[in-house]
Amino acid sequence: MMACQEWPEPIIRVQSLAESGINAIPERFIKPQSQRPKTQSNVVPTKQGFNDVDVENINIPVIDFQDLYGEDKNLKEQTLKRVSEACREWGFFQVLNHGVNHDLMKSAREVWREFFHQPIEAKEKYANSPLTYEGYGSRLGIKKGAILDWSDYFFLHYMPSSLRDQEKWPSLPNSLRDVIDEYGDEVVKLGGRVLELLSINLGLKKDFLMNSFGGESEIGACLRVNFYPKCPQPDLTLGLSSHSDPGGMTILLPDENVSGLQVRRGEHWITVKPVPNAFIINIGDQIQVLSNAIYKSIEHRVIVNSNKDRVSLAFFYNPRSDLLIQPAKELVSEDRPPLYPPMTFDEYRLYIRTKGPCGKSQVESLTSQK
Ligand code: OGA
Ligand code: NI
């Protein structure tokens, strides 16, 4: 399918809609009953043994990286083990003492909040198209009449450096470009450290995943800043529909005050309770493939609320887009054959785009394809 250059219908800025003072959301944002936030039954115990109280109180694993770089071997082992379990069972964890400066995290969030709070004309200068998605956007996909999510976003390329074009980044607030440049640099470094941990935990050489991604200067990285305006009818819609992240892994800086991200756990949706100064890291489809499904790319979605806007920075850390990604041969055996065919990240993105959304983690459909 040829990429289409224009949106199929006029773009609605969700923030403008929210600020117009409506008290009912347009039909275009109303999700079918089964996708609405409150459809989960909290009374049925699940395989994991949850009861209804647990579902509310449970959180994704929170892991402190401090001990990884200390002297104590035992503590280091324990931390690695916790990362391993999180990748196998949750596909998600929060990380503390990750090495990224807390003030820089705060500034990154603040410059984007300022950007979104500028007048609409200032933002429209950066309006994006479905060709590259770079810039200010309010929808994903080009299906005419599609049901939309309750969010706006700004999308930009950070790596490879040949795709980084600061002219396409907002020039206001003044500090945005410098802050995001520095932030990107630090988050890319964190991504490299995490790839090393995952490689070790999988019993592979510590540079295995980095090499599979093409090496430090060749990886792909992009930032999607999500803005979820207040919503007068949060029970009827979603800020971001259920999806798995197609890339390598995602390093998310959530809003410090407002929760909204939900992670699928069996039949339940677990609301992530963000820990101050932590990043939320999740496994994407490409690491699920490389690990031959030992690590899971888990479905997640975002709910909105009627009182507070929410901002999040999703940094996607991806393999170079033209390298073949396939299960590591060390993780393949007669008992555990390769679950996925070799495919480049470029091919994969095209594949999921043409296939259209499916209810489960997108990469699952590759298994059933064979
Ligand atoms: C994403 C995403 C979660 C959030 O951008 O892919 O899942 O909390 N974001 O905004
Ligand atoms: Ni996501």
Taking the C-alpha atoms of residue 296 and residue 286, their distance in angstroms, rounded to an integer, is 10
pLDDT of residue 368: 56
CA-226 nearest atom, ligand 1: 10
Q: What is the dihedral of CA 314, 133, 143, 347, to 10 degrees?
A: -80
74 Cα: distance to centroid of ligand 2 (angstroms): 33
CA distances (Å), 102 to each of 93, 183, 234, 259, 263, in order? 18, 11, 31, 19, 25
pLDDT of residue 115: 98
Task: Scan for tokens 């944002």, then name that residue.
Answer: 29
pLDDT of residue 364: 83
Q: Which of 112, 228, 240 is the pocket-test mutation for ligand 1 (most atoms within 8 Å of CB)?
A: 240
Nearest CA to ligand 1 atom 1: 314
CA-224 nearest atom, ligand 1: 5
Crossing angle, helix 176-201 and helix 73-85, to 10 degrees?
100
Q: Do 160 and 23 contact (CB within 8 A), yes or no?
A: no
Q: Is the CB of 224 under 6 A from ligand 1?
A: yes
CA-239 nearest atom, ligand 1: 10
Query: Strand 310-318 relative to strand 92-96: parallel, antiparallel, unpaired?
Result: unpaired
Own/partner long-range contacts of 132-136 (Cβ < 8 Å, ≥24 apart): 134/168, 135/168
pLDDT of residue 370: 45
Q: What is the pLDDT along the chain (370 residues), one digit of tens a residue?
A: 455 589 999 999 999 999 999 999 999 999 999 999 986 555 455 556 666 667 888 999 999 999 998 899 999 999 999 999 999 999 999 999 999 999 999 999 999 999 999 999 999 999 999 999 999 999 998 899 999 999 999 999 999 999 999 999 999 999 999 999 999 999 999 999 999 999 999 999 999 999 999 999 999 999 999 999 999 999 999 999 999 999 999 999 999 999 999 999 998 999 999 999 999 999 999 999 999 999 999 999 999 999 999 999 999 999 999 999 999 999 999 999 999 999 999 999 999 887 755 556 788 887 755 4
Q: Taking the model in full, what pTM does it have?
A: 0.95
Tell me the longest C-alpha to C-alpha distance in the chain. Answer: 61
pLDDT of residue 2: 53
pLDDT of residue 268: 93
pLDDT of residue 54: 75
